[in-house]
Chains A and B, each alone.
Chain A
């Protein structure tokens, strides 16, 4: 069966510090990978998605970036965090090549920028 791991679960970082959130998927190959942000417990905002190694599409211009160094690894980064970067970050995967494939989410990272 497929599993998705996201870490850390919670993170408190000062403004201006760097960020690195990691997500890995097991039990499937060549998945589509996604980073979402959720503010105030509602409203899922798509940040990045990837259909393959090194292929990243950005949906929202901001000071965050994403990378996919391996097929089942997706990393969300920032060089300098802003207060507005606080939120709940969710990684997700779906089957590539399967039209309308549902997304499957990790358990999220709660980021608080102070």
Chain B
């Protein structure tokens, strides 16, 4: 089945630094979704991308849908302590658009 390779697996950064994480796949995705999960809570949708090349921002977050449709990245600028959590990329399963394939997540730790 489809797989999403998400990297890095974990990041330790200083408060105020910028963060970049990405997802790649061997197959084409028509949608890329980025979620954030706070400890003990469910994932929350951050950004949805629907067109190749699309660049979308949500506050300090910026995500891009790769031109090849096989990758996407998420950038966080000027990180703050509440950015701590696990970030997941996701895309609809080619077998059934009702289902999502998720990346394995990037654990972000922001040091004061």
> Which residue of chain B is the closest to A99 with respect to CB atoms?
B97
Which residues from chain B sit less than 8 Å from chain A, CB to CB? 30-31, 33, 35, 39-45, 48, 50, 86, 88, 90, 92, 97-100, 102, 104-105, 107
A104: which of B40, B45, B92 is its contact (CB, 8 Å)?
B45
Q: Does A107 contact B (CB under 8 A)?
A: yes
Given contacts A44-B88, A90-B42, contact A49 B48 (CB under 8 A): no
By Cβ-Cβ distance, the 9 closest A-B pairs, closest first, are: A105-B42, A100-B31, A44-B102, A42-B105, A108-B42, A107-B42, A105-B43, A102-B45, A100-B92
Best-buried of A94, A99, A102, A105 by chain B (most CB within 10 Å): A102
Assess whether B100 is in contact with A103, with CB atoms less than 8 Å apart: yes
Q: How many residues of A contact B (CB 8 A)?
A: 24
> Which residue of chain B is the closest to A41 with respect to CB atoms?
B86
A100: which of B30, B41, B102, B107 is its contact (CB, 8 Å)?
B30
**Number of cross-chain contacts by CB at 8 Å:** 52
Whole-angstrom distance between the Cβ of A47 and the nearest chain B Cβ = 11
Q: Which residues of B contact A34 (CB under 8 A)?
A: 99
Once the chains are docked, how many angstroms separate the CA of A104 from the CA of B48? 12
Q: Which residues of B contact A51 (CB under 8 A)?
A: 98
Assess whether A102 is in contact with B48, with CB atoms less than 8 Å apart: yes
Q: Which residues of A contact B30 (CB under 8 A)?
A: 100
Q: Which residues of A contact B31 (CB under 8 A)?
A: 100
Assess whether A49 is in contact with B104, with CB atoms less than 8 Å apart: no
